[in-house]
Structure 1
Amino acid sequence: MVYRGRPSAACFPCRERRIKCDKKIPTCSQCARVYAKCPGYRDTLDQNFRDETESVIKRAEKRHDPANSTADVIRFESTSPSISLFTLTPSMDDVAVTNFMSSYIPGSHYDYLPSMYGLASWDSALSSTVRATAMVYLSQELCRLDLMHVARRTYVKALLETNGALAHPSTASSNSTLVSVLLLGLFESLIWTHTGTSGCWTAHTRGAFAIIKLRGLQQFENPVGQQLFAQVAKTVCINSLRQKSRLPIGLEDLIERALQCKPDYPPYHLIRLTSNVSNLIADVHASTQSGSKAVQMLCELDEEYKQFAKYLPLNWRYHIWTLEKPDELIYGNTGHWYPGHRALQLWNSCRMTRILLNEAVYALSGEVPTASKAQSRRQAIDNIEEMATEICASFSYFATFVTPPLVTSRALAASLLWPLSAVRGASLASKDIRSYSVKRLRYLGTVSRAPQVAEVASQGPGFDALQDGLHMIYVS
């Protein structure tokens, strides 16, 4: 379409030898410049346009001489004015996906998703799960119930397409299918508004584990496969730890294979430690270990975590800084800077687990010899206080150091919810630090649009962080 504008009736300055003006002003061009009053720029919204497509086509056809050449004939095809060739208004799906990729993905586990989504076909399971998750995310951002209904309908479609991909041998173990299952879990964690764990989320976790078992060693051959394995294995370990059950059969072997393929990758070492904790806590819960033996093994695992943190590579370590003047957002005037959100989560995972280990040591210390009982309890309390303090100090990364694109990232805010809840639930931590964790929980609950956080924050230390349901947000 070709459009040309016609100025409105607004008055414009006279221009010498160009516009004949009947105003009573000096004819001298210099005087005209002095005495003529300039009305300013014209308003482009007042301009009128007409469709000159047909006239342009006719002029082009006249300029073309058919006698010169028949091979280079230029053909112009006009379309009906009622039919639009394109629209400048994006669809709601496009708006949702763009918003999801720009405001949630930074700071989340899914930094590989944009490139993967760009290669997916529109009718694939991955494309549908991305649209469903993006739509529910947008509905929460805009507080629009109609978009939530659209998201749920898209979720049903995505679920059917994912099941279809799982049923086909060529796609059952692909990266895109595994990511689709993980996104279905993320969808469930976003819509979950209660404490406790969603049954649907647990089902998707089991499905993701079945896929990594099916994938075998091939998943360790590329960076995305390695990252996906770490994401799923960590989720399964934490879920087993929460349920106080031993790891599902096959996971420990896969973890060892992963370490053989990439022995210097810190997340794999952390997963191995978490798997050992999960099995030990399950044995303690089942009373298969004597009290003194259990305390010894718990202390040994705690020492392994300390050594793991001590020898982390430089690109995974954090730096401590001190404020010149007090800030109510920063605990104890000391903050942390991390190389990225993955390093932040790795450190807080260590700290939460060490709190759990030392709480178990304190609880079982009554069964150890009297001579070491007081020392075991004192050491457990000191360790818990240290880990709780470091978790609270890590909040400064979100409040101070994050670059502008991540400031509003719900994923980054959500990654701090469960660690702070662990501090809230640590009865052996000081009252002051638990009070700080509750305040920051309430703040981040608002930022991350998680209504259940208010209920969690109102609970006392007797409410176990392993059962509050925030682990779904933490690992999804």
Structure 2
Amino acid sequence: MVYCGKPSKGCQMCRTRRIKCDETRPTCNQCTKSRRQCPGYKDDFDLMLRNETTATERRAQKSATTTRKRQQQQIGQGTAATAARRHATPALQHMVKSSALQPALQIPVETRASCYFVSNFVLVPRQGTARGFMDYLIPLLRAQGTADTHIRHAFNACALALLGNSRPSADGGEEMGDKAVGEYTRALSATNTALRDPKTAKSDAVLATVLLLGMFESITAKKIGEFAWGSHIEGAIQLVKARGRKQLRTKTGLQLFVMVRRQLIIHTLTTGQAPIMGVAWWMTDAVNDPVATALQGLCLKTSDLRAQVTGLMTTTTTSSPSSFPSSFPSSSSSSTSPQRTDLVLALMRRAQSLDQDLSAWMHSLPPVWQLRTLCWHDGNSVPPDGDYSRMEVFPGRVDVYSDFWIASVWNMARTTRLTLASIIVRCAACACAPVDYRTTPEYATAARVSADVIEDIIASVPYHLGWRGGRGMGGDGHRGGHGEEEDMSGFACGEDGGIKSLAGYFLTWPLACVMGQDHLTDAQRAWVQGRLRYIGDELGIRYAYILCQMRKCIPSMLIRRDGLIAQPYPIAHNFEKLLSARQAPPAASYTMNPLQQRETMQKEHFERKRSELLAKASETTATESIKKAIEKFLGV
């Protein structure tokens, strides 16, 4: 028994006829006019409650009958299909099987690669900020449409290469690699054609294409000699120079300018060259994000300072390098002259001042820029053989950030501090020569700062690579997502969670700087190499493989080079000639060439020491056998 709402109070005849009843009693006027017998009205109880049991049973029986008939039809169809397959020919059976295995929808590999690249590299800012990466690509590609243009070919090359590196077995990595190289070749040809046209040479699309070509090199690099990233970045710098200040008037132009400035910082810190056009030209009226822009200004000043220090250490003539300020005294041929020492100390004080500015920048960041320590990894997961390269997290602190972009800016500041520390130590070594530079207070301070910065960079790596916790630290380990952190930027396609190739791309430069530091422990170096291999294997950034092969120690190798150059040899500044000095003719002021004279001096020193030892052995009461043993040891 159910309540079915307010029923009609009319007579049964009017309700059956579905007309309005005037409810006249005892007989309604509608029945009287139509000459029908009025059946009367129901009482109030029957109006409110109605018995629906019979109707419900009837509907249930009807539904069961319909279901039974449908099942019988399906069984009959399945039996007929089975019989048809049993009596079909082998060719027909193969055709049926092939059609059953064929997927319903075939997505072109170019489309899948494009979506994969955008979901891994194009970072779009949120909440009205400017914290994005390559977000200018989307409007530029839409403006070009589906035409075969240089930017479309460059984009396809990067997308196919990234997908092929990340999923080599599932999607046919070798085939996609060949397609990527073909797209890269077409992009180079189309870009050269566009550069020859004055109307398109300075366009946003051409500059974006050159940056994509440089990224393609980072994605596909296999050998150091084949790595052409620097040439593409130098081309982008020349394009920005030719475009002038008017490129900053548009949003896309400003984004491209800032992108090139970021690549310029890495390029100058890597090569030791000064920023072309000077620091002021790159910083004036080019503010995308105020906090990041302030840091990039300090990074460019560091690049300029490092170029000046390198020029001073590699100059043996009496004239100052052109990059030095006119207020500095000229360097002399003597590495210990007072003028040269004053110049070195002035450069060292500039490096210390820049390091203080960087430290102040870190402490003045707004709350959204601040990092948070997620946990401390106690190192219980170290393999029994002590192979740190297989560990996801290095024992110590693990930090998390608001998003990848902010974490990359932090690491740029840290790598700049490492560069400044090496500059300070180089200057201290030059100023205190021939005293061991490791006894100076500047070396002690730089060593402490470098060790702390290395720990900070290592603590940021797990966040980049998707690690959000671990066993034994108060919770279960999990990957993907960003935990309690609210991302300030998101990817233009796909989900924001999980490990992204952009995170590995951001990590390659900081890990490269860490790899070459004197203050890196053996365990840290093994772990960094393991993370670089992981970035190359899993995230598709093959440039990380090249970084694993690098063998350098900064600043000790630079200090040793500076010491070799400072030797008073006429051709000491030219390493190529110095290495071939054995076949070189003697210099004008020497009877022998420099290396021959050095070998002669070493031989005379050895003969003098041997004579002294033999004299002491003769004066003592040593036996004849002991004296012969001494002579044999000395080669007499």
Matches within 5 A, 1:372-411: 374-398=440-464, 399-401=466-468, 403=481, 405-411=496-502
User: Is structure 2 residue 467 aligned with structure 1 residue 439?
Assistant: no
Identity rate of aligned residues, in percent?
21
Equivalent position amino acid for 2:200 in 1: T
Q: Which residue of 1 aligns with 2:264?
A: 236
Conservation of the 8 A alpha-carbon contact between 1:112 and 1:224: yes
Q: How does 1:296-311 map to 2 (within 5 A)?
A: 296-311=349-364
CA distance in 2 between partners of 1:133 and 1:363 (Å):
40
- Counterpart of 2:189, as a letter, is L
TM-superposed deviation, 1:382? 0.9
Residue 95 (structure 1) aligned with residue 117 (structure 2) = no
Answering whether residue 404 of structure 2 is matched by residue 330 of structure 1, we say no
Q: Is the 2:220–2:543 Cα contact (8 Å) retained in structure 1?
A: no
Amino acid of the residue matched to residue 292 of structure 2?
P
Q: What CA distance in whole angstroms lies between the structure 1 residues aligned with 2:362 and 2:534?
A: 29
Query: What amino acid does structure 1 have at the position aligned with 2:352?
Result: C
Alpha-carbon separation, structure 2, partners of 1:446 and 1:294: 42
Q: 1:161-310 counterparts in 2 under 5 A?
A: 161-195=190-224, 198-199=227-228, 201-248=229-276, 250-259=277-286, 262=287, 265-287=290-312, 290-310=343-363
In structure 1, distance between residues paired with 2:547 and 2:138: 33
Deviation for aligned residue 1:387: 0.5
Does the CA contact (< 8 Å) of 2:424 and 2:446 recur in 1?
yes
Measured after TM superposition, the shift of residue 38 of structure 1 is 4.6
Q: 1:43 to 1:179 in 2, by over 3 A?
A: farther
> Which residue identity is paired with 1:228?
L
Task: Report if the CA contact (8 A) 1:244-1:278 is conserved.
Answer: yes
| Aligned twin of 2:101 | none
CA displacement 1:61-110 (0-9 Å, x = unmatched): xxxxxxxxxxxxxxxxxxxxxxxxxx953333222212222234349832
Aligned counterpart, 1:84: none
Can you list the C-alpha shifts for 1:104-134, whole angstroms capped at 9, x where unaligned? 4349832332343223222232222212221
Matches of 2:239 and 2:69, distance apart in 1: 79
Alignment partner, residue 9 of structure 1: none
Alpha-carbon spacing, 1:34–1:242, altered in 2? closer, same or farther (3 Å): closer
Secondary structure of residue in 2 paired with 1:416: helix
> Distance between the aligned counterparts of 2:142 and 2:455, measured in 1?
42
**Which amino acid counterpart does residue 498 of structure 2 have in structure 1?**
V
1:351-399: per-residue Cα shift (whole Å, max 9, x none)?
1111121123223323457999632121111100110011011113123
CA distance in 2, matches of 1:44, 1:420: 64
Counterpart residue number, 1:150: 179
Between 1:381-390 and 1:146-155, the stretch displaced more is 146-155
1:347 and 2:372 correspond: no
Task: Flag the structure with larger Rg.
Answer: 2
| 1:145-175 residue CA offsets vs partner (Å, 9 max, x unmatched) | 2222222222222222223333333332222
- Cα RMSD after superposing both structures: 3.9
Match of 2:135, as an amino acid? Answer: D
Q: Structure 1 counterpart of 2:347, which letter? A: A
Instruction: Indicate which of 363, 371, 374 corresponds to 2:426.
Output: 363
How many residue pairs were aligned? 399
2:367 alignment counterpart: 314
Seen in structure 2, the aligned counterparts of structure 1 residues 257 and 44 have a Cα distance that, compared at 3 Å, is: farther
8 Å contact kept, 1:258–1:268: no
How much has 1:35 moved relative to structure 2?
A: 9.1
Query: Take 2:460 and 2:111, find their aligned partners in 1: how far apart are those partners?
Result: 35
Q: 1: CA distance between counterparts of 2:282 and 2:518? A: 33
SS across alignment from 1:89 = coil
Shift in alpha-carbon separation, 1:430–1:243, aligned structure 2, 3 A: same
**Amino acid corresponding to residue 255 of structure 1 in structure 2:** W
Return the TM-score normalized by structure 1: 0.72
Aligned to 1:380, what secondary structure does the other structure show?
helix
Inter-partner Cα distance in structure 2 for 1:172 and 1:298: 39
Where in structure 1 are there 5+ consecutive unaligned residues? 1-16, 18-27, 49-86, 468-476
